[in-house]
Structure 1
Amino acid sequence: MIAIDKTTSIKSALIWVIMLICSLTLCLAMVVSATQDVKLQRKKLVAQLEGYVSIIAFNAKSSILQDDADIEDNRLNSFNAVDMLHNIHIYKKLTPGDELSFFASYNRDGVGPYPVQFERVQQLLKPYISANYIELTKAITHDKEVLGYVYLRASQEELSAYIQTRILLDIIIALVALGSAFFISVRLQQRFTSPIDTLLNVVQKVAKEKNYQVRAPIAPIKEYNMLSRAFNTMLDRIEQQISKLQQAEQENRQLTLSLEQKIEQRTEALKASNQELLNTLSTLHQYQNQIVETEKMASLGQMVAGVAHEVNTPIGLGVTASTLLQDKLADIQKAFDEKKLTSSQLAKFLSESKENLGIIYRNMERAASLISSFKRVAVDQSNENRRQFNMLQLINEVLLSLRPNLKKTQHQVLINCPAELELDSKPGPINQILINLIMNSLIHAFEHIEQGEITIDVSVSDNHCQLVYRDNGAGVPETIKKRIFDPFVTTKRGEGGSGLGLHLVYNLVTQALNGKIVLDSTLGQGVRFQIDFPVIVIKN
């Protein structure tokens, strides 16, 4: 129910609406008109100044050719009649070279000289408009040869005065228009609200005196007249209903006595039902909050998986490569300082530096790409970053980025992939999947094995790529084999393992690549991941 002190009067609303429409229309019209007028006046002022500077450049040509600065000073003094021109400089070009020298000038009385603008000559070939001044230059040419430049600095005081006058005139017009609108709105308000006041008095009289024989008068407005007739018809029906109600009232009294007892019984039953419903609703709210928190934690776990596991790998590789490069640089610096640096050492250093810098660049670029793509994966399961690529080259790039990790071990990686296999798919997720699987083998599978073997088999059939990844490591225990792709499942709980690596691999295969992944493993006999996802085979 709306509070009385918060209701709106039709009288005030009508006036406010009319005044608001008029005000907005006037303001918009004045702003647009004033803006266009100011732009036009400023354009005319710039055109006038360009005419002045062209005349000055034409006249100054002969003075520069005759090297007579006095004549040019006398000519420039003739511009004393133009109030907006404050400073005029003529610069002469020295030969040979492009240096400029001061030739002649004009400074308006009361303004004083202005510093030379040798450095801004080229910039001011296009007029520069500041808050109070307009500056421009023009080249003085003779037979297509630049003899010098004319610099002109003019005031915008006349334009500012014009703008102020224009604004004052617009305000006066707006006030007159708003006054007229207010007068018209008051007249309209009186015409439209007078019938409502009459009808309101009739309604109040009927409500206060319970006199249903009163009728609303005819209104001069068609819609209000229809409302009056409808109100009178309602009063007629009320009179008829009152007589019927008086007859039914006696019958209701008798029924009331019998219903009171039933109502008391139903009331007690309703109280018990309401209490049960409240308890059920409270339980539902608790379950709902638990579900929301579970969803939040699931999203947070997936985000932590992407950032902590994916970004850390390329950044760590970049740091490793940069550290190795720093060590090699220290060796070269030492050999150079001791004057023992040979060409073979330098060539080897350059080759290794190029390789390490490539590793740093690719991994930093991959880290940036992973962060940007990770946000898209969280919003949309499909990754639109498709392109054509060579599958064998992609695998080799992954192994190259992981070389610092592989060089520390005696493990071997065998690749069985056609060299000419060109695919149209999403190389980013494939790259991440291979890195995670290889790092998972290095950290978990080969923890107690000195010389392990990783095999990557790639084949294509019916526009589907089958990627089989195998290692001869420790394998997966039966206790976690069925839950291996669930988040936080790890055999190194408390030793730094997060249990999110294979969960991320599963999400990349099923969501980003729209494929499927199957694990086959026996404890002590390694693992076999079979990944199948749709691709477009590029036929050369």
Structure 2
Amino acid sequence: MNALSDKASDDVSEQGLSARLAAAEQELAATRDQLQHCAAVMAANDDAIITLSPDGRITHWNAAAEQLFGRGGDEALGQTLGTLLPGGAAALAGAWSSVVAGGRGAFDAAHVRNDGSAAHAAVTLSAVLDDGGQVRAVVGVVRDISDYKIREAEFHQESKLESLGRLSAGLAHEINTPIQYVGDNARFLEEAYQELIRVVEVYRSLLDTSNPIGWAERQEQVRIAEAGIDFDYLQKEIPSAVEQTLEGIERVSRIVRAMKTFSHPGHQEQVPADLNEALEATVTVTRHQVSDVAELTMDLADLPPVMCNIADLNQVFLNLIVNAADAIEETGSRGAIDVSTAVDGDDVVVRISDTGGGIPEDMRAKIFDPFFTTKDVGRGSGQGLPLARGVVQEGHGGSLTLDTVVGQGTTFTVRLPIDGRPAPGPVETRT
């Protein structure tokens, strides 16, 4: 009886073991299918997909990554992402801090291809957590955005050309007005000079002692000469004409200086610049556009030099002031634009406010989207504000925000760090 019981028990054990083995094989097959599917997805993806260990070492990457970085898998394994993207060192460090905490991180960075050409990449890092919530691995998706950056630069240039085109007529008017009255005054002074010279010639002839005429006759000739030129009128108008001419010359000089400041080619690197001077120059070159629709006031605080690319910021200020004038013009009533600066801790703040119609709530989330515009067809390309935000945020480490009330107006606030965008720092070996 015991032998039969033992045999039955053995049969049950073998059946249980077989069932467990079959289940394990099924699970293994399912896992193998999942891995093959994942591998196929990674291989077929146009984006570079990279897996990294918790200490930041590359453990796997797909064919797109090999093509993007020009390195084979064996060459990349064990390397850090920082060695592939040295231009994004500071951004990578910040993104990695978010990832190791179990979150996500994203940044853009430049890198150099095998042929020596520059490329740009958008990187997204995501943490893979185990059951205990610990980071088991990190997945990075890297997309080549070089073409997008090229188009962005082209759009930036087109936006500049569009703005300059809109300014040209106004600048011609601004310069033509003082030049016209400088010319009128110059012609008046030329005529007055000829008349005064004729009187001087009479005086000189009367001083000739060889001319035997009496004192009374000399006086009469002087009176006639002076009466012929309206001496009192010239005495009053000549100083006024000279003063107006000098004012006109100074006005033209200011416009030329403003254009020189506004069109400054800038530098690749950040250099100290006077933001108040830049704003004054921008106001000068936009005066004709603004003066037709609004009164513009400036309240400029004492600012320290700000590390920046002033040429790009000039374009930002131009877009914001022109947009303010357009917003007021659309209301059909004359309004006001206020430009102010202030120091706030380690930042400089520039505010440009208008009394336009404000921005409806359903449009506020789109206002910085490329090609989105609230203006009529032909008046706006939708490039100005997105490029302005890119210059301020990506180019200078600052922020561009808006505060708007429908029916009352809008205020755009540019916040810039006085010391400029932080320079890339060294990347830790684990990232």
Question: Under TM normalisation by the shorter chain, which class is it?
Answer: 0.3 to 0.5
* Larger RCO: 1 or 2 (CA < 8 Å, sep 6+): 2
With the length of structure 2 as denominator, give the TM-score of the two structures.
0.47
TM-score of the pair, normalised by structure 1: 0.39
Q: Which has the greater radius of gyration?
A: 1
Which protein is richer in helix relative to its size? Answer: 1
